[in-house]
Amino acid sequence: MQLLALALYHQDNRNPPRVLRFHPGRLNILTGESETGKSGVLAIIDFCLGRSKPGLPDNPIDRTVGWYAVLAEFRDGRRMVLARPRPAGESTNEAFVRSGDQTLSLPSAAELHVNSNAAALRGEVSAHLGIEDFRFQPPAGAARYPFDVSVAQGALFCFQNQDEIAASKTLFHRQTEDGIAQAIKDTLPYFLGAAGPEQALRQYRLGEARREVRTAQRKLDAALRQREVLDTNGIALLRLAQSEGLLSDVPAAPDADTVQALLRKALAVPPLAPISSDVGDRRQELNEERRTLRAQLQEFDAALATVDRWQRRSFDFTGELHLQVDRLKTLDLLGPERDHDTDVCPMCTQPLEHRDPSAQDISRLTNRLSEELEQAAGVQPVRQEHLRALQVQRNGLAERLKANGVLLKELMASDENMARLQEQHLRAAHLQGRIAQSLAHDLRPTDDVGQLRNALASAQEVVSVLEEHTANDDVPAETERRLADVAAQMTPWARRLKLGQSEEPNEAGISFKKLSVVIRRPQDRLPQERVGSAKNYIGYHLVAHLALHTYLRHHHRPVPGFLALDQPTQAFFPSKPRDASTVPDADWSTVTEYFRLLHDVSELNRGDLQIIVCDHANLPDDWFQQAVIDNWRPNEDGTRNALIPPRWLT
């Protein structure tokens, strides 16, 4: 597959498409000043081959173009138009595909419409390239997904952007993106011819068979561990059953059958009767009775205290009355003085304002008090009898309360015994549940382990057969052998460009493990990044890709037959030169040698390899000028050539 043309279609179709023509089978040079869109050419080609993102900056390209298209031709003469609309967002899967013979050309803007998608586009291109229809299966256990091998992987060997061609540690297009380096490692053996769909299928089946072996081994190990656990657990359950009274006379080292029989015997022991709840009811009754007795006892204590206070106060009062009565009785000793006039003072015979009580009045009062004291003395025995009755009743309540306490204490002791018995019943029931669960888990065919051993042996036999079939499929070794053939072409070209570390006996090659250039020296292996200088990085990238594509072309491998390079001479000019032809101190001899190598390699491949270069350089040599497909520098009339025509911006 080589490119015949690249076309850009205006968004509103008011202008004819911008077409860039390529020459198949030879060197194509697009030269010009900076910021003319040269680097966008590679991104557009990559996008038209099925990428979801165009990777173009937000510049006049994105603001004016509606469709991108390439016209490609295959080895059998068939042609294809691969077109993609400008994505409305960051990406798109829409596409336009048209196939035909050698008369097929770029379509008009009116003919462009979405008739396919990116996946179908890649599938058709892959089929025309001769990429066999197979799905790459990662090795068993790899943390990545299978994918269909297509031009999406083959195109990774066809581009070198400006930052990629001067990279110090990487070699291939998009290698630093997630998953791309691994995709290159997965598919490079196929594109080199070191492995095909048959080997991939055998490797996949071998990986699946090994996975089956690991699965069967895990199942067998799990069954053996379960059997061991069940046996150990069964003996432990027997000891517990013996300690809980479910079994007696358990052997010290019973065999598996004895364990099963004894466990079934323990499981057959009837469950113990539940503990009656009468004890709790009786304890509640006693507590209620105790509260009642204490309340009654408090009432009697209060009554006794009241009677006692009443009696003490009565004694105090009657005693005082007896004292006063005894004093008043002395009036009985008076003679004629008893009849003294109480209205006159006996001392001064003066009349009194308030009449004094007479002796007769005091005698009557004394007699009345004496009578009341006699009555009070008669009540005293009744009060004493009431006090004794209250005390007797109070003592009876105290005895009943004491008896209640004794009963509660005995009931609590009995309750503790019943709780221990209840706990024992629960432990026994729980143990019987564990025994039932253990027996249920062990109810499997006795030959389960034997069946698993047979399954493991069968899976191992399948692996052995597949390993014999794949013994000759040493893909890594075959890949290295073919990369050695690539290195055989790299080394003389590196010496031709006088790259660092290229002198004899050193040899340049591609490291499959690191996906970068390595210099094999007699004493060691020197990685590309240790060679140093941008000139060497670019030079080794050139010779590596030229040698790789030459190998692919000579062996008719299904990789697109073009190599697109962006700024391969950037190391010889200042950063972003406006026009490299105006730089007086550039190493023009080395620049010439780089382009001469590109020209010679394209000639060496006799039309099978197309090389597209976008660069600032514009050498005066005839062979260089014959390779120039466009020159994006100002015209004599002052107009400027670029990827986007100036009239599109007006």
Tens digits of residue pLDDT in 504-523: 899 999 999 999 999 999 98
Tens digits of residue pLDDT in 435-457: 777 777 654 444 477 788 888 88
CA 406 from chain centre, in angstroms, equals 67
Question: For residues 1-12, b (16+ Cβ closer than 10 Å) or e, as one string?
Answer: bbbbbbbbbbee
Report the alpha-carbon angle 563-505-175, nearest 5.
30
Q: What is the pLDDT of residue 439?
A: 72
Q: Which residue has the higher pLDDT, 600 or 222?
A: 600
In the beta sheet, which residues pair with residue 6?
20, 70
Q: What is the pLDDT of residue 227?
A: 66
Q: What is the pLDDT of residue 283?
A: 74
Q: What is the pLDDT of residue 55?
A: 75
Which residues have a Cβ under 8 Å from the Cβ of 567 and sit 6 or more positions away? 39, 162, 165, 166, 614, 615, 616
Query: In the Cβ-directed half-sphere of 125, how many Cα atoms lie within 13 Å?
Result: 36
Q: What is the pLDDT of residue 446?
A: 46
Does this model's pTM top 0.85? My answer is no
Ranking 12-21, 359-368, 523-532, 584-593 by mean pLDDT, the lowest is: 359-368
Gap between the Cα atoms of 606 and 620, Å rounded: 24
Please give the average per-residue pLDDT across 130-134, as a whole number.
86
Q: Is the pLDDT of residue 181 over 80?
A: yes
Ranking 68-82, 106-120, 245-259 by mean pLDDT, the lowest is: 245-259
Q: What is the pLDDT of residue 390?
A: 80
Report DSSP state, residue 617.
-
Q: What is the pLDDT of residue 299?
A: 85
Q: Which residue has the higher pLDDT, 129 or 334?
A: 129
Which residues have a Cβ under 8 Å from the Cβ of 119 and sit 6 or more positions away? 50, 93
Please give the average per-residue pLDDT across 265-292, as a whole number.
71
Q: Is the pLDDT of residue 496 over 60?
A: yes
Query: In this structure, are residues 325 and 373 in contact, taking their beta carbons and an 8 Å threshold?
Result: yes
Q: What percent of the chain has pLDDT over 90?
A: 38
Question: For residues 284-320, b (16+ Cβ closer than 10 Å) or e, as one string?
Answer: eebeebbeebeebbeebeebeeeeeeeeeeeeeeeee
Burial class (CB in 10 A: 0-12, 13-18, 19+), 277: exposed
Collapsing DSSP to helix, strand or coil, 125 comes out as helix
Q: What is the pLDDT of residue 546?
A: 97
Q: Which residue has the higher pLDDT, 579 or 76?
A: 76
What is the residue type of 529?
A: E
Tens digits of residue pLDDT in 620-642: 899 999 999 999 988 777 677 88
Ranking 54-58, 95-99, 184-188, 610-614 by mean pLDDT, the lowest is: 54-58
